[in-house]
Amino acid sequence: MVLQQRLDKVFSWREKHIKEKHFILMISFIVGIATALAAILLKSMIHFIQHFLTDHIDKTNANYLYLLLPVVGVLLSGLFVKYIVKDDIGHGVTKILYAISQRKSRIKPHNTWTSIVASSLTIGFGGSVGAEAPIVLTGAAIGSNLGRFFKMEQRTLMLLVGCGSAGAIAGIFKAPIAGLLFTIEVLMLDLTMTSVLPLLITSVTAATVSYIFTGTEAMFKFTQVEAFSMNRIPYVLLLGIVCGLVSLYFTRVSIWIEKIFGKLKTFWKRFFVGVAILSVLIFLFPPLYGEGYDTIGMFLEKQSGQLMDGSFFYQLRSNYWGIVLFTILIILLKVFATSATNGGGGCGGIFAPSLFLGSVTGFTFAHAINYFMLLAYLPEENFSLMGMAGMMSGVMHSPLTAVFLIAELTGGFDLFLPLMIVSISSYITIVSFERHSLYSMRLAKKGELLTHHKDRAVLTLLNLNTVIETDLIAVKPEMTLGDMIKVIAKSKRNVFPVTDSRGILRGVVLLDNIRNIMFRPELYDRFRVEKFMISPPAKLNINFPMEKIMQIFDDTKAWNLPVIDDSGKYVGFVSKSKIFNAYRDILVENFSEEEE
């Protein structure tokens, strides 16, 4: 009680002496420091566990330890989530999108640390996922809960969630520009004058803290030994298309496998199926172990001969087409390893898998073409780098983030033009088949996705329950016209739902349709409601997203439509005018900028 009183005094002093916009900048700076420290902690835990377990593995033979390690990691992570967290912490970026769209940017406090623990166990023991989605969820939770602690309004909370996400990406990759662009492209927050400065402060602060603790060198060692040649542009375009198609394969197979695991109702069924797939794949293809960043480093440093170390296929490491076949199998099977990790109870994201897949795809593309020496030699390390941008652009639908992230990760700014070409061509390829990224697809199907499109964004924030009108008097089909007149006398509305004894909506009565007979008493006992009721132009289900509801209003040209539940029971009415009023309120509350 005493502590709360002191906090109230502090909050009151802050409101009087510090302007809101200045205080937001101060919080964004704190978020930058906190998210960077969280990112450094997560990476350190993963690397410690990974090196402790794998440093002494024999590289010249198959290692049966790979059959056991992923099982232990997924089990520990799954039990931690099931019995300690007792909440779903998977699909981190999707959860952030949902929080922005539907939960007023409120993310549970435990998300500030639980994803770090679960993902470090999963990935350190070999789970074939990435640490980026968990740390992005952690960063967003830090921003959200810090904003809630200082009692910030919803619009500011949304901005702080974006700051936390940007800081997480900037901190874990030491890539401030990519952190900013990730927030805009993937989380789909608008870049305005009021939001750009806090996002930049958080990103730069997080990257600076990472530089201080981990050094200033880029995450991957990459040296461009020859300038980009213009006659390679057709190959770069083709690589972008290939990356777009592989991204499509990864996206659709991920959703398919996710549905299969969704049908397994118990934790232990999901666990055994998941670890069986994961451990066998890692045993046969060791590059699938963990994030896969070591493999990316091999390609960028021209050490692809080490790719088959520790596998059954070690003897084929010097066979040209043996390497191609090995990498093609990795491209096809990576999605199964990633989905099995998460489906079995592990915790991780698709960020690192998309970079890994892109690197393997780019290398395989160049390695195969170089065999025939067609027109121009393709530097395999350069195309491996470009493939990372292409795959990330395709899987996440974020071409700008992909270009700047890969450039910042590797220092490959000299390849900026081909990075842009492959990123854009990959993006154009996949959007021809899939409108939404793997992150946003789940929410888009439910109509719960907040986007840059203002009308759709506002409709997403609208809740149907808040605009349903229940003051209309329902009548029964067997009622007479005389009974109907008595109901009309009590009502202030000109629409009357008709329901049966079970509450099922059978039709509606419009006052205008009976005006010519309602003043003729001799007809009061001759007509029953079932004779003059009509079917409504459409019925709205209580679970319809608001965007679909507005589409129905536009198609039917109606101004009032009934709402029913899944069993057909009458719930209420929705008027187009009330939706418009609610639309204006939300537009003012969430999307108008304060001018001073």
Half-sphere exposure of 584 (CA within 13 A, CB side): 5
* CA–CA gap between residue 148 and residue 134 (Å, rounded): 21
Same domain, 234 and 209: no
Same domain, 86 and 166: yes
Structure tokens at 91: 């699909």
pLDDT at residue 104 tops 70: no
Q: For the residues 501-520, what does the mean pLDDT come to?
A: 86
> Does 25 reside within a domain?
yes
Q: What is the domain count for the chain?
A: 3
pLDDT bin (cut points 50, 70, 90) of residue 91 is confident
Q: What is the pLDDT of residue 246?
A: 96
The DSSP 8-state label assigned to residue 593 in this structure reads: P
Q: Kindly give the interhelix angle for 576-591 and 546-556, rounded to the nearest 10 degrees.
A: 140
> Does 557 reside within a domain?
yes
pLDDT at residue 585 tops 80: no
Same domain, 337 and 359: yes
CATH code of 16's domain: 1.10.3080.10
Q: For the residues 328-349, what does the mean pLDDT come to?
A: 93
Q: What is the pLDDT of residue 573?
A: 87
Q: Structural domain of residue 391, as residue ranges?
A: 230-451
pTM for the whole structure: 0.78
Share above pLDDT 70 across residues of the chain, in percent, rounded to a whole number: 86
Helix, strand or coil, per DSSP, at residue 262: helix
pLDDT at residue 147 tops 80: yes
Q: What is the pLDDT of residue 365?
A: 94
Helix (H) or strand (E) holding 495: strand 495-499
Half-sphere exposure of 389 (CA within 13 A, CB side): 34
Q: For the residues 201-207, what does the mean pLDDT come to?
A: 95
Same domain, 34 and 164: yes
* CA–CA gap between residue 252 and residue 335 (Å, rounded): 10
Give how far Cα 534 sits from Cα of 247, 274, 495, 497, 552, Å. 50, 54, 11, 10, 18
Residues 303, 309 contacting (CB under 8 angstroms)? no
Same domain, 198 and 53: yes
CATH code of 548's domain: 3.10.580.10
* CA–CA gap between residue 290 and residue 122 (Å, rounded): 8
> Does 223 reside within a domain?
no
**Pick from 79, 102, 99: which is nearest to 141 by CA?**
99
**Pick from 181, 149, 134: which is nearest to 38 by CA?**
134
Most confident of 8-22, 122-136, 209-223, 295-309: 122-136
Helix, strand or coil, per DSSP, at residue 469: strand
- Of the candidate ranges 7-16, 323-332, 583-592, the one whose mean pLDDT is the lowest: 583-592
Helix (H) or strand (E) holding 509: strand 505-510
Q: What is the pLDDT of residue 273?
A: 94
Q: What is the pLDDT of residue 347?
A: 92
352-409 residue pLDDT tens: 999 999 999 999 999 888 887 655 678 888 899 999 999 999 999 899 999 999 988 8
> Does 225 reside within a domain?
no
Q: What angle do CA 141, 37, 116 make, to 5 degrees?
A: 55
Instruction: Calculate the CA dihedral of residues 25, 28, 30, 34 and round it to 10 degrees.
Output: -170
Q: What is the pLDDT of residue 454?
A: 47
Q: What angle do CA 291, 295, 297 make, to 5 degrees?
A: 105
Most confident of 83-92, 494-503, 514-523: 494-503
Give how far Cα 153 sits from Cα of 95, 138, 184, 302, 457, Å. 20, 21, 20, 52, 18
449-499 residue pLDDT tens: 554 444 455 445 556 667 788 888 888 989 988 888 888 888 888 888 999
539-584 residue pLDDT tens: 888 888 777 777 888 888 888 889 898 888 998 888 877 776 665 5
Amino acid occupying residue 193: M
> Does 264 reside within a domain?
yes
Same domain, 582 and 541: yes
From 160, 184, 214, the end of a domain falls on 214
Share above pLDDT 90 across residues of the chain, in percent, rounded to a whole number: 39
pLDDT bin (cut points 50, 70, 90) of residue 340 is very high
pLDDT at residue 444 tops 80: no
Same domain, 107 and 177: yes
Q: What is the pLDDT of residue 596?
A: 38
Give how far Cα 112 sits from Cα of 93, 108, 201, Å. 14, 8, 20
Q: For the residues 281-285, what does the mean pLDDT come to?
A: 90
> Does 389 reside within a domain?
yes
Residues 464, 563 contacting (CB under 8 angstroms)? yes
5-14 residue pLDDT tens: 676 676 677 7
Q: What angle do CA 320, 323, 327 make, to 5 degrees?
A: 145
Q: What is the pLDDT of residue 404?
A: 92
Same domain, 380 and 236: yes
Q: For the residues 434-461, what does the mean pLDDT come to?
A: 59
Q: Are strands 560-564 and 540-541 parallel, antiparallel or unpaired?
A: parallel
Helix residue ranges per DSSP H, 285-319? 293-300
Residue, of 235 and 187, whose pLDDT is higher:
235
Q: Are strands 505-510 and 495-499 parallel, antiparallel or unpaired?
A: antiparallel
Average pLDDT, the chain: 84
* CA–CA gap between residue 176 and residue 165 (Å, rounded): 11
From 166, 186, 214, the end of a domain falls on 214
> Does 330 reside within a domain?
yes
Q: What is the pLDDT of residue 559?
A: 80
pLDDT bin (cut points 50, 70, 90) of residue 341 is very high
Residue, of 456 and 188, whose pLDDT is higher:
188
Q: What is the pLDDT of residue 452?
A: 47
Same domain, 143 and 156: yes
Same domain, 63 and 192: yes
* CA–CA gap between residue 131 and residue 172 (Å, rounded): 9
Q: What is the pLDDT of residue 186?
A: 80
From 214, 247, 280, the end of a domain falls on 214
Q: For the residues 151-155, what does the mean pLDDT come to?
A: 80
Q: For the residues 183-198, what does the mean pLDDT come to?
A: 77
Same domain, 313 and 266: yes
Same domain, 293 and 431: yes
Give how far Cα 462 sits from Cα of 448, 544, 594, Å. 10, 12, 22
Residue, of 150 and 79, whose pLDDT is higher:
79
> Does 173 reside within a domain?
yes
pLDDT bin (cut points 50, 70, 90) of residue 593 is very low
Count other Cβ atoms within 10 Å, centred on residue 228.
Answer: 17
Q: For the residues 159-175, what does the mean pLDDT come to?
A: 92
* CA–CA gap between residue 166 and residue 504 (Å, rounded): 50
Backbone angles phi, psi at 370, to 5 degrees: -65, -25
* CA–CA gap between residue 595 and residue 93 (Å, rounded): 32
* CA–CA gap between residue 209 and residue 206 (Å, rounded): 5
